[in-house]
Amino acid sequence: MNEGIFLECEVCGRKTKDLKLVMIEGAAVYACPSCAAGKLEARQPIVRVRKVTKKPVQEEEDKLLIIDYGKVIQKAAQAKGLTVEELAKRVGESESTMRKIIHEKLTPTEKTAAKLEKLLGIKLYE
Ligand SMILES: [Zn+2]
């Protein structure tokens, strides 16, 4: 026997498989046939037994720049024959910003880092 499919009438408490969603005093209520008699059927079925599987709030991954990101950028740029100026242009940063990044005085924004990674074929995050 599967008791799970039996639901209780919200009016009289009788257990029945045959519940109807009706409007009683302005509220949608699941009622057994005798309680539902003469009542207006509610249009919206309400899901009573709902498994609440809360999705964990996805935290944004904490990205950590590698320690020697500047050197890695510089090396990769040199390997590709790119000057700092060219590199800056390609990723849409100013030359001075690019220099600061290379000298690790400034961390690149995620956007810039992503561009650098793609352009130079390197990984800047751990
Ligand atoms: Zn009832």
Spatial distance between the Cα atoms of 21 and 105, rounded to a whole number of angstroms = 66
Q: What is the CATH number of domain 69-120?
A: 1.10.260.40
Q: Which amino acid is it at 101?
A: I
Query: pTM of the entire structure?
Result: 0.52
Question: Could you tell me if 123 and 76 are in contact, meaning their C-beta atoms sit under 8 angstroms apart?
Answer: no
How far away, in angstroms, is 51 Cα from ligand 1 center? 25
> Domain residues of the chain, as ranges?
3-41, 69-120
Q: What is the pLDDT along the chain (126 residues), one digit of tens a residue?
A: 444 566 899 999 998 888 888 988 888 899 999 999 999 888 765 555 555 566 666 555 567 899 999 999 999 999 999 999 999 999 999 999 999 999 999 999 999 999 999 999 999 998
How far away, in angstroms, is 32 Cα from ligand 1 center? 4
How far away, in angstroms, is 6 Cα from ligand 1 center? 13
How far away, in angstroms, is 15 Cα from ligand 1 center? 8
Spatial distance between the Cα atoms of 17 and 109, rounded to a whole number of angstroms = 59
The dihedrals phi and psi of 22, each to the nearest 5 degrees, come to -130, 165
